[in-house]
Amino acid sequence: MNGAHALLETLRANHVTACFANPGTSEMHFVAGLDDVPEVRAILCLFEGVATGAADGFARVSATPAATLLHLGPGLANGWANLHNARRARSPVLNIVGDHATYHGRFDAALQSDIEAVASALEGWYRRTLRAEDLAVDVADALSAAYGPPGRVATLVLPADVSWSEVPTVPPTWPVAVRPRLSQPHDDELERALEVLRRGRSALLVGGGALDAAQLELAGRVAAATSSKLIVETFPAIIDRGAGRVEPERLIYLSEFAIAQLADLEALVLVGAKVPVGFFAYPDVASQLVGSGCAVVDLAPPGTDTRAALAHLVDALRAGPIVHDAPSLVEAPTGELNVRSMAAAVGATMPEGVLVSDESNTSVVHLWGATASSPPHRWMTLTGGAIGMGLPLAVGAAVASGGRVLALESDGSMMYTPQALWTMAREGLDVTILGLSNRSYAILNLERQRVGATSDGAVSQRMLDLDSPALDLHALAASLGVPSVRVTTADELVAALRRSYATPGPMFIEVMLPKGLS
């Protein structure tokens, strides 16, 4: 048995069931080994950013790591942006990065580069295996690191000769990752949290791993019992939403509005969330969004058992159950297609249990509102701000769940990783993609006002426009094998969504919105 095969056996023993791969020459022994380990589903991606974003989506949905298979430094670099998003989502991910044979590195061949430097910026776990007999243990160590808690990106470099060398002794059992327990919240912090919550003018800010329906229910009971606000971080990795679920208000993206949102608070209790800060800095706007007079209690830093913390608060407060309002159904829109009617169409048609991969950027406010009382669903957002996440994340979510995914994708963002569409077609994934065409980097038209970088010039305006030439998104999707349609009215959109949900496999719907911010 060679090293690559031992690696795959270790993945199987650790129940790693998916490998999102963009292999090259150095990874050919790994690829050959896939034939013998069918439990590790190999999914080909045409670009590494698809593979890494898919691994992130897989992890968010299943809370277990998928593997990526990448080709030397350039492969890792191509996947880096979505690994950055995965890091911010605290997703467990295992990168396997093929490299030159150990003895070949010193010759500085064309593809040689400092992989460790690129990996180090992911602030996760890194190791280079030097002998085939060490691979199994190294993989288990990598998976232990990936699981955390909190989850992180683990990168294992696999030199070609380590792949092709024989493992001298095949162990009787393959090593298995250790999954350390969540730590318990501190009594002092629990007491402080109770104290400030009881005093009033306080809020619970939930985030991270505290956003499943059961924990949100607990958080909602705490908020109701103490008349506190319940707020969710701006960009949750994954959150349960919809009819019958507690819906926190969302921390606003725009710093100046977020500062106003938090201005009245005397205390903020963090449960899995970080102290809120501005996404960007703006001239004359504070970076820290909470006022200096607001006490911050960090009840559950990363790796803490948020459920235990919330349950403790519920018990201490004897917080009663929540009576959920009957869902107010969104009516299917007709007529003109704009951001509002688009959002209403999504809200009115959403099936139960759908996974939403949201990279809708400037459209999100309407979409978030229109789906609040749709059937129960889960929503994933752009955690790290590195655009090009939405379609790859949808791939991974579909593979992990086997269920329907709805990708809400802005035209500008979609153009970073359109290759994901091909993998959806190839694997027959049940993904409905809304390609939101407004022919501009609408968010930058907004942001340049906010930073005060206004100019009347045609050159700078043209840098934010995507309409010359127009991107034909539905033709693009079709060229990559995804059935595709363009809609220009709300009625057509509603019909297309319903058809897509009733049809196995991916479908791309190009949604023609008014140009720019709308």
Contacts of its own copies in 51-90 (CB under 8 A):
72-74, 77-78, 80-81, 84, 88
Tell me the closest approach of the beta carbon of residue 218 to its own copies, in angstroms: 26
CB of 69 to its own copies, least distance (A): 9
Choosing from 15, 39, 108, 166, the residue that interacts with its own copies (CB under 8 A) is 108
Would you say 470 and 515 are in contact if contact means Cβ atoms under 8 Å apart? no
The residues with which 94 forms a beta bridge, in sequence order, are 67, 154
**Residue numbers 145-164 binding its own copies by CB under 8 A:** 160-161, 164
Nearer to its own copies, 192 or 274 (CB): 274
Check: CB of residue 440 under 8 Å from CB of residue 468.
no
Task: State in angstroms the smallest separation of the CB of 434 from its own copies.
Answer: 17
Q: CA-to-CA distance for 325 and 469, rounded, in angstroms?
A: 48
Q: Return the residues of window 216-245 that contact its own copies according to CB under 8 A.
A: 235
As a residue count, the chain comes to 518
By the rule CB under 8 A, 170 interacts with its own copies: no
DSSP letter at 427? H
- Residues 459-518 binding its own copies (CB under 8 A) are 459-460, 462-464, 466, 468-473, 475-476, 478-481
Between 179 and 462, CB nearer to its own copies? 462
From the list 158, 140, 126, the residue with the least C-alpha distance to 12 is: 140
How far from 124 is each of 15, 46, 90, 146, CA to CA, in Å? Answer: 21, 25, 10, 8
For residue 439, state whether it binds its own copies (rule: CB under 8 A).
no
Question: 409, 437 in Cβ contact below 8 A?
Answer: no
Q: Which two tokens stand for residue 403?
A: 């269920």
Residues 57, 92, 150, 412: which binds its own copies (CB under 8 A)?
412
Work out which of 278, 291, 403, 516 binds its own copies, going by CB under 8 A: 278
Residue 284 touching its own copies (CB under 8 A):
no
Q: Which stretch binds its own copies (CB under 8 A): 23-31, 212-220, 256-264, 340-348?
A: 23-31
| Nearest distance, CB of residue 46 and its own copies, angstroms | 4
- In whole angstroms, give the CA distance from residue 200 to residue 44: 53
Q: Tell me, residue by residue from 378 to 407, as one string, x for binding to its own copies by CB under 8 A and - for no binding.
A: -----xxxxxx-------------------
Q: Does 121 bind its own copies (CB under 8 A)?
A: yes
User: For residue 445, how many other CB atoms are within 10 A of its CB?
Assistant: 16
Give the CB-side neighbour count of residue 147, counting CA atoms within 13 A: 16
Pairwise CA distance, residues 175 & 13, whole Å: 8
Residue 50 identity (one-letter amino acid): V
